[in-house]
Structure 1
Amino acid sequence: MIIQLTGNVTYPITLDPTVWIFDDRKILLEDAFSKNKTDIESVEADELEKAAERWSREIYQQKIKPPINKSISRLEGKKILTNSYVMPINDFINHAEVKPDAKNATLVTKNEEVNISLDELRNCYLMFAYNGKPLKEDGPVYFYYGDGSNKDAPIKEVQKIIVN
């Protein structure tokens, strides 16, 4: 259930989609391909603002008393376990530091290899949860182009991403 990001990068990394369900960068599948990207961007800005407030609150609380681990509320947990999510991959690509001469990428699946441009890779989404559950049968992730052109037929069983 892991994916390797290797090839023409400074730092090859291993991705574990099973922990992305708790990642704040995840996006609801139905929101990823909505026509109105400004709404998504405003939601992301609101989430960043909330995260900054939480950070400030945590720093303040640490000065006063020991920090307390807060769990997810029941409502948040229920929402997580019923929705389908995708993860933008661009942050991971930035962390791997793609070398300047890289132009393409290869998606290695169980049965084939799919060549895509580096720009397509940077703008893609990886679906990691369907109805709140990991993609065990034909996962670990599905690959969706950022424009949603393969929304109805994603590339399934992506096991490795090689930057060329």
Structure 2
Amino acid sequence: MDNIIFIKGKVKYPITLDPGVWIFDDRRLDLKTYFNQVNQAVDELENYTKSISKHWDREIMEGAVYPPTLKSEKKFEKEKVLTGTFGMPLLPFIHNAEPETTVKTLIVESTDGEVALPIEQGKELILCFSKNGKPLRQDGPVYAFFGDGSNRDKPLKNIKGFRLN
């Protein structure tokens, strides 16, 4: 039960999170590069068009290659998962909890005490769940980084839950 995180408070649906399964989630972020990038609004149509264009160019240059033969790409992804430092945005989980319209603050509950953040800043939190391929067992299960990375050197640790007030 030490690895379970709760989202509760003024929400329609209290949520229980298990960071141990996030390694399989497509929303995971590579934290070794995430804060170094300029975070721009993601245009889904543009990303889709680029992905299809890349695939089309590849088929023209190399001929049709079917997924089972892409062993080197699978090996690279597997290696990345085993050695990477990953995080997960908190925003989708807050949306799924459906907070009340009166919510003004997000309180990060930890064994070190509570930290109150304005809800807008709380929605930008990134939860680090893996460092160098290993789960955060000693002072985890997650670390919380602000969306702008301003606390990269000193993240919020020992987090047990989030409360919306």
**TM-score band (shorter)?**
0.7 to 0.9
**Aligned-pair distance for 1:47?**
7.2
SS in 2 for 1:120: helix
Q: Tell me if 1:124 matches 2:125.
A: yes
| 1:55-134 mapped onto 2 (5 Å cutoff) | 73-134=74-135
Provide the residue aligned with 2:33 in structure 1.
31
The alignment's TM-score, normalised by the length of structure 2, stands at 0.78
2:16 to 14, 17, 20: 14
Task: Give CA-to-partner distance per residue, 1:89-125, whole Å, 9 cap, x none.
Answer: 1111100001000100111111211111111111110
The alpha-carbon distance between structure 1 residues 41 and 141, as it changes in their structure 2 partners (threshold 3 A), is same
Provide the residue aligned with 1:162 in structure 2.
163
SS in 2 for 1:81: helix
What is the one-letter code of the residue matched to 2:137? K
SS in 2 for 1:37: coil
> 2:85 & 2:32 partners in 1: Cα distance?
8
The alpha-carbon distance between structure 1 residues 145 and 45, as it changes in their structure 2 partners (threshold 3 A), is farther
Task: Give CA-to-partner distance per residue, 1:58-116, whole Å, 9 cap, x none.
Answer: xxxxxxxxxxxxxx933321110101011111111100001000100111111211111
Identity of aligned residues (%): 38
| Largest Rg, 1 or 2 | 2
What is the one-letter code of the residue matched to 1:162? R
Q: Tell me if 1:3 matches 2:43.
A: no
**Aligned-pair distance for 1:6?**
0.4
**Number of aligned residue pairs:** 143
What is the one-letter code of the residue matched to 1:140? P
8 Å CA contact 1:18, 1:128 repeated in 2: yes
> 1:154 & 1:43 partners in 2: Cα distance?
30
SS in 1 for 2:112: coil
SS in 2 for 1:11: coil
> 1:48 & 1:158 partners in 2: Cα distance?
39
> 1:49 & 1:90 partners in 2: Cα distance?
26
8 Å CA contact 1:32, 1:86 repeated in 2: no
The alignment's TM-score, normalised by the length of structure 1, stands at 0.79
SS in 1 for 2:158: strand
SS in 1 for 2:157: strand
> 1:161 & 1:155 partners in 2: Cα distance?
12
**Aligned-pair distance for 1:37?**
1.8
**Aligned-pair distance for 1:163?**
0.5
